[in-house]
Amino acid sequence: MKQYDVIVIGAGNGGLAAAATCAREGLSTLLLERHNIPGGSASSFVRGRFEFEPSLHELAGVGAPDEVGTIEDMFNRFEGDVDWHRHDSTFRLVVPAKEGDTDTFINEDGVEVTVDARMPVGFHNFAKKLEELVPGSYDSCMAAFDLSTRMFKAFDNLENPSKLVGSVKDLPDIMRMVSHTMNEGLDALGMPKKAQDIFNTYWCYLGSPGSQLDFLYYLAMVHSYIKNGTGIPHLRSHEMSLAIDDVIRRNGGDIWYNSEVTKVIMKDGKPAAVVINGEKTVYGKYFICNSSPNAVWADLFDEKDIPAKQLKMLNSRKVACSLTTVYLGMNKTKEELGIKDYSVFIAPDSDSDKQYEAAQDFFSGFCIINCLNEIIPDCTPEGTSQLFLTTMTFGDVMKDVKPQDYKKFKTKVAKDMIETCEKALNISITPYIEEIEIALPPTFARYLNTPFGTPYGYMLEKWDSMIPRTVQYIQDQPFSNFFFCGASQERGDGYGCAYYTGEKAGGIVVKKVKEGK
């Protein structure tokens, strides 16, 4: 009877990184995935003559041509082959004027707005643009980037709390800011409110607004986006997934697709094997799980075997946001459509907390519109382009939608999102749609097997953010030989965050196996 050193459950980003880490260190490794392809959200799908990117907006951490970022560094270490396309802009925030607004102007698109901020790459460039938009904000913006730069020096020490204490003398501001929110931190730096709203635009990538999200963690994310810009693989995110699949196989690891783990078998109080597709049993010494803890405890374990602490953790945490995405294959080029930017955030209000409040209901006017051709010109056939529109919601927003009304409902949501983008950017989209696919929370729930279809795991809140989760990581794992990775863990949503948690969990297992523990 073969026993693997490690069995990895789920071939999402975290599971792929975990399996690659273990296989490269010589551990007998088995990666199990219920779908027929790797990647989870990092995949692609085809409609007509268009191949769509399901989830990746932009990937921070790729780095600049002359400076390797954390993501590119990981693929270099893994010897994974990816053709990167880099992008040297960040975001554009557009807040259309509402009735009663007094501080409005007409932007270059001929639309009346209260905010139109097209932000550049580079700390100085970003701060200079912010100063242009909000006079008196340059110094506080540069102070935030100075803090984020020094903060990265402390991040490695988060894995060892005793070392973190030793770094207090060098990084007093880090310890002082640990327990503060985005709003509190920027207030302390003296950043004007309007500048804060622009600075906080990326809050939705982590799913918590300015009054809740940990200031230092948000700074870390903004730092990664602003420092060197972003990147996307030429063949979209599935190129990364296939590259890591190849790394695992080249290093002797096994990958079984169409292999759903349906049961975890316990022995002596800890996992000893998994049952695949309700039939085949495979044994392992260690287990790394890239699935949602909600699904794992509900579907894979007997109730008597679930540690009480895990149930308390589930009950104390809030499920993060869910997404709705409209994928559009256009029979016009981006130039013909009048698209000028890769990523535009359209919001009914510039304040992140008001955006969060509005997202408690279904589509409220908040929408991100991306045009992949801006980064990868040949991602669609000549004379065409592809757009994807994304909005977010919180909780069970579909509970009142009857099955017979589902198609009508999602069509209306898509129509509202498209019209919002058309009005905010003064462009025409509807007449030129060749292909359309609409993914609501139930779509993502079926594919990701997460509560309400969230790809984010659990909300990052002031009491439950990256730093406490990181310090408590080992103590928060359910068994001595079973580790979680992915969006449910310390860094929340994001490709880089998932890779990090997978590589971390894999490294822990490698160390344990080699030490004979």
pLDDT the model gives residue 286: 98
pLDDT the model gives residue 51: 95
Q: 84: part of which helix (H) or strand (E)?
A: strand 84-87
**Mean pLDDT highest for which of 153-167, 172-186, 253-267, 361-375?**
253-267
pLDDT the model gives residue 237: 94
Distance CA 448, CA 159 (A): 29
Comparing CA positions, the residue from 34, 134, 121 lying closest to residue 69 is 121
Q: Is 401 helix (H, G, I), strand (E, B) or coil?
A: coil
Distance CA 21, CA 473 (A): 18
**pLDDT (mean) for 180-200:** 96
Task: Give the rounded percent of residues in the chain with a pLDDT score beyond 90.
Answer: 80
In this predicted model, which residue has the larger pLDDT, 133 or 157? 133
Q: What is the DSSP letter of 375?
A: T
Query: What's the gap between Cα 484 and its chain centre?
Result: 17
**pLDDT (mean) for 366-382:** 96
**pLDDT (mean) for 135-151:** 93
pLDDT the model gives residue 159: 54
Radius of gyration, alpha carbons of the chain: 23
pLDDT the model gives residue 517: 63
pLDDT tens track for 449-471 = 999 999 999 998 878 888 888 88
Which segment of 204-218, 428-442, 502-516 scores lowest on mean pLDDT? 204-218
| DSSP class per residue in 278-335 | TTEEEEEEEEEE-S-HHHHHHHTS-GGGS-HHHHHHHHHSPB--EEEEEEEEESS-HH
Q: Residue 232 — pLDDT band, cuts 50, 70, 90?
A: very high
Tell me: pLDDT of 171 over 70: no
Q: Is 93 helix (H, G, I), strand (E, B) or coil?
A: strand
Mean pLDDT, all residues of the chain: 92
Residue pointed to by tokens 């927003």: 397
Asked if 375 contacts 232 with a C-beta cutoff of 8 angstroms, the reply is yes
Beta-sheet pairing, 254-256 with 29-32: parallel
Q: Which amino acid is at 197?
A: D
pLDDT the model gives residue 173: 65
pLDDT tens track for 283-307 = 999 999 999 999 999 999 999 999 9
Q: What domains, with CATH codes, occur in the chain?
A: 3-45+236-318+459-515 (3.50.50.60), 121-228 (no CATH)
Query: Residue 118, CB half-sphere, CA atoms under 13 Å: how many?
Result: 9
pLDDT the model gives residue 89: 84
Query: Residue 341, CB half-sphere, CA atoms under 13 Å: how many?
Result: 24
Q: Which amino acid is at 499?
A: Y
Distance CA 167, CA 229 (A): 29
Q: 255: part of which helix (H) or strand (E)?
A: strand 254-256
Beta-sheet pairing, 105-106 with 29-32: unpaired
Q: Is 365 helix (H, G, I), strand (E, B) or coil?
A: coil
Task: Give the rounded percent of residues in the chain with a pLDDT score beyond 70.
Answer: 95
**pLDDT (mean) for 263-276:** 98
Tell me: pLDDT of 158 over 70: no
Q: What is the DSSP letter of 374?
A: G
pTM over 0.85: yes
**pLDDT (mean) for 111-121:** 96
Which segment of 160-164, 335-339, 510-514 scores lowest on mean pLDDT? 160-164
Q: 142: part of which helix (H) or strand (E)?
A: helix 138-155
pLDDT tens track for 306-327 = 999 999 999 999 999 999 999 9
Tell me: pLDDT of 442 over 80: yes
Distance CA 154, CA 134 (A): 31
Strand partners, 51: 46
In this predicted model, which residue has the larger pLDDT, 397 or 257? 257
